[in-house]
Amino acid sequence: MRRRTGGEREDVDLRIDILTLFPEMFSGPFAGGMIRKATEAGICDLRVHDLRDWAHTAHRVVDDEVFGGGPGMVLKPEPIVAACEALVAKGTGRLVYLTPQGVPLDQTLAGRLALECGLVLLCGRYEGVDERALQILRPLEISIGDYVLTGGELPAMVLVDAVVRLLPGVLAAGAAAEDSFATGLLEGPQYTRPRVFRGLEVPEVLLSGDHARIAAWRRYEALRRTWRRRPELLRSAPLSAEDRRMLRAVMAEEPPAGRTQP
């Protein structure tokens, strides 16, 4: 066990509570692949809660019209505050509100969240959440991109996937270390069998068995790909003297194309 959660279970690395109006949306994405493997192995404990369980009115109402007029509905503060306080009080961890107005989710933030003992993810709907609930709860507000989705469920799934795969024991040892963004660069090209496909050959160096040459080739290709596709990442990527030498060679080969837009 990496640390104690303070919740009911103490044998998991990360407990994640998700608060949503649509719990059924999570059954498919969490039922297979890496998330299932992580939950079955006791590496993470995922629990999905229906926000309506904290709506103590006859019809379990959780939303109401916008004060001041305007289209749509807003999620009422009472059930949200009651639910979040109950879940956070269990000691299960950091409260996160998924919102397009939050800080962008990136690999660094995913890595930080993977070090938490627990996460409580609040999924908004409609026009969003009554501002007073956010004033009281002061969640970490996270966005998955500069576009607006219908609800916070898909962003919560994205966040869970990005975080859970970083927990020790979920991926093969070292598998995430060379991923794009993990080293500040994009990952270079990857190949598998067959050695020749429609006349295209796997680069000879990858078949050489020379680990030092392969590592150097991979680093060069990561630098090349980053320079081609996301040159701005190179401003903050930690680069060694050898990286800088390789980068000068890459830059001499080709100008940056910038991001491809449709």
* Cα dihedral across residues 231, 233, 235, 237: positive or negative: negative
Q: How far apart are CA 252 and CA 232, in angstroms?
A: 17
Q: State which of positions 98-127 bind ligand SAM (CB under 6 A).
A: 98-101, 123-125, 127
143 binds ligand SAM (CB under 6 A): yes
DSSP 127-167: T-B-HHHHHHH-PEEEESSSS--SBSHHHHHHHHHHHHTTS
Q: Which is nearer to ligand SAM, 14 or 75 (CB)?
A: 75
Segment (H or E) for 249: helix 241-253
How many residues sit in the footprint of ligand SAM (CB under 6 A)? 20
Which residue matches tokens 């990442």?
233
Rounded to the nearest whole angstrom, what is the least distance from the CB of residue 104 to ligand SAM in the complex?
Answer: 9
DSSP 215-232: HHHHHHHHHHHHHHH-GG
Question: What is the per-residue binding string for ligand SAM in 80-99, x denoting contact by CB under 6 A?
Answer: ------------------xx
Over its C-alpha atoms, the chain yields an Rg (Å, rounded) of 23
Reply yes or no on whether 165 is catalytic: yes
Q: Which is nearer to ligand SAM, 12 or 19 (CB)?
A: 19
Best CA proximity match to 225, nearest among 189, 174, 175: 189
Residue among 155, 167, 170, 221 that touches ligand SAM (CB under 6 A): 155
What lies within 8 Å, CB to CB, of 211 at 6+ separation is none
145 binds ligand SAM (CB under 6 A): yes
Q: Which is nearer to ligand SAM, 118 or 139 (CB)?
A: 139
Among 78, 85, 161, 179, the active-site one is 179
Rounded to the nearest whole angstrom, what is the least distance from the CB of residue 23 to ligand SAM in the complex?
Answer: 15
Q: Which stretch binds ligand SAM (CB under 6 A): 18-26, 148-156, 200-208, 209-217?
A: 148-156
Best CA proximity match to 135, nearest among 80, 208, 203: 80
Reply yes or no on whether 193 is catalytic: no
Which residues lie near ligand SAM (CB under 6 A)?
A: 98-101, 123-125, 127-129, 143-145, 147-152, 155
Residues acting as catalytic residues? 100, 127, 165, 179
